[in-house]
Amino acid sequence: MKRLLLALLASLPVASVSFATQVFTVGPPGSGASFNDIQSAIDAASPGDVVLVAPGTYQAFILDKPLHVQGAGPGATVIETPQFGAATMAIVLGVPAGQTAVVAGMSAVIGGVPLFRDGLLVVEPLAGTVALHDLNLVTHPGAGTVFATGVGRLIVSSSLVHGGAGGTGSGPGYALESNDSRVWVVDSVISGQGFPGFFGGEHTTVGLFNSAACFAVSAVLGGDVWPTFGGEGGDGIDAQSSTLFFDRSIVQGGVGTTSTGAFAMLLASNTTATARADSVVVAGPGGGGVPVSADPSSQFTVDPAIRPTLSASVPLASA
């Protein structure tokens, strides 16, 4: 695992791992830090700088340049979302090609009631790389957790991402949703949570749409249905027009009370999914024992030799 993470870091653009020109400290009042809130430090920093955040509770922030925002660890550095409106802890944007923004060592406390697809952490269209490391992101049922659109490369490593309830349109969000992006999940757990049956029973954990995704030494777990209401178990991944790879990973459907649902993966619209033989893809109870549901244009295969790397050119499905 350590070698895998080192290889991941080594693959990042040189500009993103060079020595920072300046370190900005953030801490509670009286801590001696230069700033008491994260946003002020981000605004003062220049590309390549480091924002070092001490233990404490802070407000949400917008990261609009390639910086390294480093907390003291999940549970120590905590981001509290607004009490009203969208429960978003961070928005990342403005990272150009060849550069990297890092958000690491934090967790979130949900202050308000999130609005369906609002993401707890949102990555807006950008050409560069966004690395999310050592995060503990948990949101309410029905709310999205990590939401990415048009991202050159999103890396989620050594993190727990929990929440969402699946769905489309104005419906519930996913624990991880990727649109027109390239995503790498390493040494992480992406898990869904149940949603009441009267909301349709949809609680898929990961949604991939016209995206390329690789899961290495990670787990994707479908949400379990709420026993009080019953319904389908949560599917692990819903992928459309996408390319997926699995390296020493687990994909599992959630627990349900009906005879349908709880697939590990739903593949549609020319989606291909390939797994190493040491990956595990299984249906949850209520899925009829069928781990993968693929339409005629899609396929799932097992290839013992597959070992994708971050430097590999993995095209989007529409390319």
Q: Is 109's pLDDT higher than 90?
A: no
Instruction: Lowest mean pLDDT of 45-59, 92-106, 305-319, name the range.
Output: 305-319
Question: Which of residues 182 and 19 earns the better pLDDT score?
Answer: 182
Question: Residue 244 pLDDT more than 70?
Answer: yes
> 90 pLDDT exceeds 80?
yes
Tell me which range, 82-91, 131-140, 200-209, is most confidently predicted by mean pLDDT.
131-140
Note whether 173 and 165 are within 8 A (CB). Answer: yes
Q: List the beta bridge partners of residue 52.
A: 25, 70
Domains of the chain, by residue range, sit at 2-302
Most confident stretch, 160-174, 186-200, 267-281, 297-311:
267-281
232 pLDDT band (50/70/90 cuts)? Answer: low
* Mean of all residue pLDDT scores within the chain: 82
pLDDT digits 0-9 by tens, 23-41:
999 999 999 999 999 999 9
Among 3-12, 43-52, 152-161, 196-205, whose mean pLDDT is lowest?
Answer: 3-12
Which token pair is 21?
């020109």
CATH number of 2-302: 2.160.20
Local confidence band at 240 (pLDDT 50, 70, 90 cut-offs): very high
For residues 163 and 92, what is the distance between their CA atoms, to the nearest angstrom?
A: 20
pLDDT at residue 286, rounded to an integer? 54
pLDDT at residue 230, as a whole number: 60
Task: Write down the pLDDT at residue 204.
Answer: 84
What per-residue confidence (pLDDT) applies to 164?
A: 64
How much is the pTM? 0.87
Once rounded to an integer, what is the mean pLDDT over residues 242-266?
84
**pLDDT average, residue stretch 162-186:** 76
153 Cβ contact list (under 8 Å, min separation 6): 128, 129, 130, 181, 182, 183, 184, 310
Please give the pLDDT value at position 22.
95
Percentage with pLDDT > 90 across the chain: 58
